[in-house]
Amino acid sequence: MPATLSPEELLYTIKELEEKNRQLVQKNEKLAEERDCCRLLIDSASDLIHSVTPEGAFLYTNQAWRDTLGYTEEDIRHLSLMDIVDKNCKGKCTQIFNCLMKGEKIDRNTTTLIARNGDSIIVEGRCSTHFENGRPLFMTAIFRNMSDQTRNELALLQSEKRYKDLFENSSDLIQIVHPNGNFLYVNRAWRETFGYKEEEIATLSIFDLIADDCQDHCQNTFQQVINDPKLHYIDTVFTTKDGRQVFIEGNAICNFENGKPLFTQCIFRDVTEKKKMIEELIKAQKLESLGVLAGGIAHDFNNLLTAILGNISLAKMHTNPQDAIADYLYKTEKASIRAQGLTKQLLTFSKGGAPIKKVTTITELIKDSTSFVLRGSKVKCEYHLDQDLWAVEADEGQLSQVAQNLVINARQAMPDGGTITIRATNKTLTRDEFPSLPPGNYIEILFQDHGTGIPQEHLSRIFDPYFSSKSTGTGLGLAISYSIIKNHGGLITVSSEPGQDTIFSILLPAIQGHVPQPQRQDDLHKIDSRKILIMDDDQTVREIAASMLTFIGCSVEEAEDGKKAIDLYNKARQDGAPFDIVIMDLTIPGGMGGKEAIAALLAVDPKAKVIVSSGYANDPIMANHKLYGFCGVLPKPFKMDDLNRVLASVIE
């Protein structure tokens, strides 16, 4: 028992207790004030802060936490942390809880919480556990809402993927190049075009691909691109991994940072086929222009040859075959016929010219044509022609001319002799295999020599009219061949290198059907006295034709154009002495020609017998004269026996 205190001591003790109580109250008030201040500070934080028991029950959440997730303090009393964790994150959160219970700190934890309205909130932050006497009291977590940032990053990744997919799936050739020329990126179309794998790109420079003859130009262009931020047009030639040349065109632009070039972006198109088609179009336009001139020359020349051959024919009729002059006439006639062959070559270029086609096979035609031009030379032909070659619809004379031109070229390429190999096979073209040809069945004919070859700079001009690398060449042989094959709906190409083989390839449309056999010509009948009307704008042609007809016993009247011919024809019918046969020139400059005249003539006399004649021997009307109402066809120039034969056929 303590000793009894005196009143003074008791009073002092009471005062001392009151002071301590006052200090304790002040301390509690200060602690409460600090606690409120901390709570206010925590509630004012933008981070999401919570504390939970080791079982996961919430002890505290700050205002930002509640605002972000939408839960009220009343909701929180009935929730645990695992109740609001996304189902895909529960396993991860359980592992983190176990680590925290062992005293580990989690400096960076990313998880997804489910808000009261069902939204997914992605948070990232730090977690730690508070212990007392070695036992966990509670766990705290400070998170930051990463949803917007994550969505932005995801959107950025998706956008990057979309653009990468766009680039990868583009048919254009896309490349990104470092200022030193090394490739940083190329798309799939680029890799497929040039034949490189993705892992090979890092070791390549743009200058590894540029064709040798374009190096200087491209070096200058590349320097312009990396020094000037504007868009630049590019037109050059790249070389593929296997050595092929690819023509490309497109745009390039350089990206800069602080005035320094970072990289160039280029979008190209493979225009190799486009270039070829343009070249084909230019060739066709050249041929068409030449055709207008050539057609007019050939027409007038054939009129002159008609007079020459006609007069020779008449002269021969009045000459003893044993006389010396008969030999001169024979040689003159032979030279004139050779001149006639020249006009046929010119007519190949004619805009209105069309081959006179028939269904045939090419086997014998090729052998006959090529063996003829090799007679007496040191060059021979080897033939590898398939037994079952399909038929073609073609002008045999024109195809023979093509074969002869190619063999002559091959012979000249082998001055010391050699072998020309000619192959012919059936070939079925698929779509886009040759852009200028539709898919279907074709005959492929290859002419291969082992001569000097053709320089690369000449290949693009080899089919141009009047282009020749030979001092004695006319430059017409291959141009004519090109035009003939084009008019047959086919394609002729060439591949060659100096010192190596040259191969000309011809593709001709094939047809299915029976190939008619040539029929035996019956003997010509004698022409009785007939009344003939000649319509031609050329007086010389009219005169020689009249002389030839008079010689075989016919009576003749002449007309210079279709209108005059129709007037004479109608008058003769009215007089009771009609014409038996009319010979009409197809083309009358400035007047009515044969096509218009026969329509008017048949309108008044459907039984009229009319023969069409023209210096345009390859005109479509000449090839299909019966479709226009004509009974016969007489190409200029013609001789006496040609005239006799066509008259006999019409009379029969």
d(CA 229, CA 264): 10
List all residues 6 or more positions away from 451 whose beta carbon is below 8 Å from its beta carbon.
Answer: 410, 412, 413, 414, 418, 501, 502
Query: How many angstroms separate the Cα of 602 from the Cα of each of 528, 582, 609?
Result: 24, 12, 9
Spans of all domains in the chain: 45-151, 170-270, 362-511, 531-651
Q: Three-state SS for 382?
A: strand
Q: Around Cβ 562, how many Cβ atoms within 10 Å?
A: 24
CATH number of the structural domain 170-270: 3.30.450.20
Of 274, 217, 207, give the one whose Cα is nearest residue 246: 274
pLDDT score recorded for residue 285: 72
Rounded mean pLDDT for each run of 10 residues along the chain, 652 residues in total: 65 73 70 62 76 88 88 88 88 85 81 89 86 86 77 68 72 89 90 90 88 84 88 89 89 89 90 80 69 70 83 83 82 75 58 63 83 77 90 83 86 86 92 84 92 77 65 61 88 85 91 55 57 92 90 90 93 92 89 90 92 78 86 87 86 80
d(CA 48, CA 123): 9
CATH number of the structural domain 45-151: 3.30.450.20
List all residues 6 or more positions away from 592 whose beta carbon is below 8 Å from its beta carbon.
Answer: 561, 562, 563, 600
pLDDT score recorded for residue 41: 63
Question: May I ask the CATH architecture of the domain 362-511?
Answer: 2-Layer Sandwich (3.30)
**Fold agreement (170-270, 362-511):** no
Of 316, 399, 409, 410, give the one whose Cα is nearest residue 356: 399
d(CA 196, CA 182): 14
| DSSP-derived secondary structure letter, 443 | E
pLDDT score recorded for residue 447: 93
**pTM reported for the whole predicted model:** 0.44
Class of CATH domain 531-651: alpha beta
Residue with token string 């990396």? 226
Give me the sign of the Cα torsion angle 482, 494, 446, 470: positive
Query: How many angstroms separate the Cα of 93 from the Cα of each of 57, 69, 83, 561?
Result: 14, 18, 12, 106
